[in-house]
Chain A
Amino acid sequence: MASTKGVLVDITRCIGCESCVVACRLYNGLEPGQKNRGKTKQNGNTELAPDKWTAVQGYRVDKDGNKVRRFVKKQCLHCLEPACASACFARALQKTPEGPVVYNEKLCVGCRYCMIACPFGILRFEWDKPFPRVLKCQMCLARVADNQMPACASVCPTGAVTFGERDKIVEEAKKRQASNPNLYVSQIYGLKEAGGTSWLYLSDVAFDKLGFRTDVPEKPIPEYTWQVLRWTPHIFIGWGALLTGMYLYTKRRAAVHAEEEMYAPVDVDEK
């Protein structure tokens, strides 16, 4: 896991130019449909879509009594232990050693368990296609495997998106917090959420005000299923043993009963 790559998004450095969104579209050849081009969310923000793997959402929030505007780049967080991949029995979603969690449409059966499993609600289903896919950010695997930045990070004009080894990215985030304690909130989003993610966020405003899910458990989601599933062999064998025992017991009881009948004293009254 040492070579797992990561990306740090520093919300304080984002100016909302959406260069990353265009870069994502250009690199991945996504041609957004007309209906997905506009603003879709109620607060005027663009939402993720099958043809929009990353979006920049603006939030007006209170900070120290003043209204401030913050932009949040949204995309798949690429969990270290992805729930979507663990939920996918077709292995269409997989965690790569480089870090990205990627999707292979040729293996996908379209069950959408992954969408239910994802704690961040990232995956998007092509509802209007005859052979729909489940789509999300691939973290530009080919580039990352080649030790290049993802397309979005490579165009950010302000350096709000930084790419590197995840360990070093975490160090960098902590360094920024330490050098500017008045600016940042203490949390690094993605450090522990769902067992840690490859994408990390720094902010100067509490994350729950910026549309982040803060109720995500710190334990990796697949561990919850494992807690139940690990009893499977025990239950399987135990249930067999129980039934066998009961079978043997009833059989024995029946045998004893028959024997008792056989050797019971003859009814004296009849004679």
Chain B
Amino acid sequence: MEDSKRGIEQENINQEKKEMTRRSFLKMIAGTGLLVGLSGALAGCVEKSPEHAGGKGWLPYQYNVAGNLPAQVRGRVPIDADNPSITRDDQKCILCGQCLEVCKNVESVYGYYDLPVVDETICINCGQCSMACPSGAISERDDTKKVFEALADKDKFVLVQTAPATRVALGEEFGLPPGTWVQGQQVAALRRLGFNAVLDTNFAADLTIMEEATELIKRIKGEVKKPLPQFTSCSPGWIKFCEYFYPELIPNISSCKSPQQMFGALAKTYYARARGIDPENIVSVSVMPCTAKKFEAQRPEMNASAKYWKRGNLRDVDVVLTTRELARMLKEKQIDLTALPEENYDKLMGEETGGAVIFGATGGVMEAAARTAYFLITGQEPPALFLNLTPVRGLAGVKEAAAEIPGVGTLRVAVSHGMANGRKILNAVREGKAPWHFVEFMTCPGGCIAGGGQPRTAVPPSDTVREQRLAALYKADASLSKRKSYENEEVAALYRDFLGHPMSELAEELLHTEYHSRADRLKRILAQAV
């Protein structure tokens, strides 16, 4: 009974379904479509889009976003892609302007020439910009790969020289406090890296003093027809600075090469002969606190060994590493400097005196030269004043000293560091108001101890760190038994066996050079206020 009822109901439903005609179906579809369309259109009106294509409002919405430009932007110094000393990484640069600050106010290069630029990006390669760069965008040109390749080559005899200033700074890269004396560990570390000979630029520094002091005496006596005051020539940044801005004073610069280049010239002549090595198999590496040394080593005239052997392809110094690059190499080879024992330099070109050690400090070259000049003139040991020529020590921008030398009179000297300070002296010399006999110029503030290739212990470099490094050098000088360059026995042996005497013909050929005006590369501003 119930089943039949259910069957009838089912039939009714089926009948109703069947009554869905084609017309009513189309009506339903059309109605639904209309409803959807209408609701969609209404929804579109409700949702107010912030952008109206082509309307006036869309542009600011798209672009009025907070830019990523730092609040304080001041630009930066120009660095050529082929600058041998420094490179920059655009990805890291934040345009803070610290490099400009240093280049303009400390080195007085940027802004000291008239625009438009002539044919060269003016740079003295000092690398102080890399020291001041807070983001590490400016750094030295990395030459570590060349050294690793040379060390891996079994046919090559790779010798290395280390500058006076690296031994008071390298430790900072390994967590030691500024000014820690790591000379012995540095020698040990270089041996671990695989250098065939570890030698000392200090040897060449003593040699420089012998040559430079001799030249000074000859100038004072009138045996060399060159003007006074004599300028030091150890700092390659200063040399390039003088070639750019004060070409008329080039004759005042001592014709001596810098210790690095003297060493390089001797490494492939004197050392090669003494050790019986083919100079072409020698790879001459130097570890320097300085980026300008990279430029100096590439100067075309720095190939005295090629002239000596009459082989065209020799360079006196093949690769220059900064202190930072050496630290990077040691870290790459996982050599812990602090855990190494102290070792001594190799013989023949590895001896040092206190006079050479203080080459790394502002005033150091001057002090060392004065000690030797006194001896060369009087034939007597210099008095205590010459061993502690305190007026030329310290971080004052321009320092002066006068010392009595019996038989000659008063030797007047001046010292400056940072080329902005140097300009004060140079302008006085240009105006003929210079009372000095000998002037030391250092490109970097504090001298080589704060060179452009030194560890970036404080950014920007602080005088606190500089003073600690300086103190370490003077402490080492005071503690050495030999403090005067003429006491260096290896230098004496070099003169006895090879060169003859200071400023001999061979010494002139290997250890002296000429400088060339670069004034045509820029438009000089002569009346620049200092």
Write the residues of chain A forming the contact surface with B, with a CB cutoff of 8 angstroms.
11-19, 21-23, 25-29, 37, 39, 44, 60, 66-71, 91, 94, 96, 102, 104, 106-107, 138, 140-143, 145, 151, 154-158, 204
| Contact of B65 with A by CB under 8 A | yes
| Contact of B313 with A by CB under 8 A | no
Q: Are A102 and B59 in contact (CB under 8 A)?
A: yes
Q: Are A69 and B51 in contact (CB under 8 A)?
A: no
Known contacts A22-B95, A141-B59, A154-B73: A204-B68 contact under CB 8 Å:
no
Stretch at the interface among B75-83, B416-424, B437-445, B490-498: B75-83
Contact pick for B60, options A27, A66, A69, A142, CB 8 Å = A142
Known contacts A16-B78, A23-B73: A141-B63 contact under CB 8 Å:
yes
CA distance A29 to B66 in the complex (A): 10
Stretch at the interface among B10-18, B118-126, B234-242, B402-410: B118-126
Measured CB to CB, the closest approach of chain B to A261, in angstroms, equals 55
Known contacts A102-B63, A141-B63, A157-B100: A68-B119 contact under CB 8 Å:
yes
Known contacts A70-B116, A107-B54: A155-B74 contact under CB 8 Å:
yes
CA distance A147 to B119 in the complex (A): 36
| Contact of B90 with A by CB under 8 A | yes
Q: Are B78 and A17 in contact (CB under 8 A)?
A: yes
Measured CB to CB, the closest approach of chain B to A190, in angstroms, equals 19
CA distance A19 to B75 in the complex (A): 5
Known: A29-B67, A67-B119, A157-B100. 14 other contacts (CB 8 A): A16-B121, A17-B78, A19-B73, A21-B90, A23-B73, A25-B90, A69-B120, A70-B116, A71-B117, A91-B54, A94-B54, A94-B59, A145-B64, A156-B75
Residues of B within 8 A of A142 (CB): 60, 63-65, 67
Measured CB to CB, the closest approach of chain B to A21, in angstroms, equals 7
Nearest neighbor of B58 in chain A, beta-carbon distance = A104
Write the residues of chain B forming the contact surface with A, with a CB cutoff of 8 angstroms.
51, 53-54, 58-60, 62-65, 67-70, 73-79, 81, 90, 93-95, 97, 100, 115-121
CA distance A142 to B64 in the complex (A): 5
8 contacts between A and B (CB under 8 A): A19-B75, A19-B95, A26-B67, A27-B69, A37-B90, A70-B116, A106-B62, A156-B75
Residues of B within 8 A of A16 (CB): 78, 117, 121
CA distance A26 to B66 in the complex (A): 11
Q: Are A26 and B69 in contact (CB under 8 A)?
A: yes
Nearest neighbor of B67 in chain A, beta-carbon distance = A27
Measured CB to CB, the closest approach of chain A to B61, in angstroms, equals 10
Known contacts A96-B59, A142-B64, A145-B60: A66-B119 contact under CB 8 Å:
yes
Nearest neighbor of B521 in chain A, beta-carbon distance = A69
